[in-house]
Amino acid sequence: MHEALFGFCRWLETTPWGAPTRETMWFYPFVQLIHFTGLSLWLSTNVALDLRLIGVGRWRRTAAELARDLFVLNWIGFCTVVTGGFLLFSATATTYIQNGAFLVKLGMLVPTALVFHVVVQSKSRTWGRTAELPGVARLAGLIELLLWLSVVTAAVEIPSY
């Protein structure tokens, strides 16, 4: 299994998208830009809903309305992050899969936060019909916010491992 994964990563590094990201001087920052731009859209729309659920700030929209308002841009943001992230990973895949912080980030935190987000987003339709939210909704918002913070923390730690 490990050998197959490693072989896959080696192959990624030679692909027509992996190799140029690593070898072309000007391409890499633009790939990072794609990743960060997507992150801005993805995280800000996630956190907006989380804060609305927690009940911080003066929102004029119910959580259900906000979830619906932001739905499309939220997932456009997600696709953009994944595209940029996949290119960054392809460039030096064999190094990434040996990095502890990266494994924690992509193997554990991102899947957990993502599943949590999907649940929170769909649950908001029922939780958020009224301005006052049930305790479970507030807790869910807080947990999702902390999960994304932990994802960013793991990402910041990648160069140190």
- The residues binding other proteins (CB under 8 A) are 25-26, 28-30, 32-33, 36-37, 39-45, 47-48, 51, 57-61, 65, 68-70, 72-73, 77, 148-149, 152-153, 155-157, 160
Min dist CB 31 to other proteins, Å, is 10
* CB of residue 27 to other proteins, shortest distance in Å: 9
Sign for the pseudo-dihedral over CA of 16, 21, 24, 29? positive
* CB nearer other proteins, residue 94 or residue 150: 150
Cα gap 30→24, rounded to integer Å: 11
CB of 66 to other proteins, least distance (A): 9
**With respect to other proteins, which residue has the nearer C-beta, 13 or 65?**
65
Cβ of residue 53: shortest distance to other proteins, in angstroms? 14
Nearer to other proteins, 13 or 157 (CB): 157
Residue 110: strand, helix, or coil: helix
CB nearer to other proteins: give 103 or 149.
149
Residue 88 neighbours by CB distance under 10 Å: 19
Task: Please tell me the distance from the alpha carbon of residue 134 to that of residue 61, in angstroms, as a whole number.
Answer: 16
Q: Where are the alpha helices (DSSP H) in the chain?
A: 2-14, 18-23, 27-54, 63-91, 93-96, 100-103, 110-127, 135-157
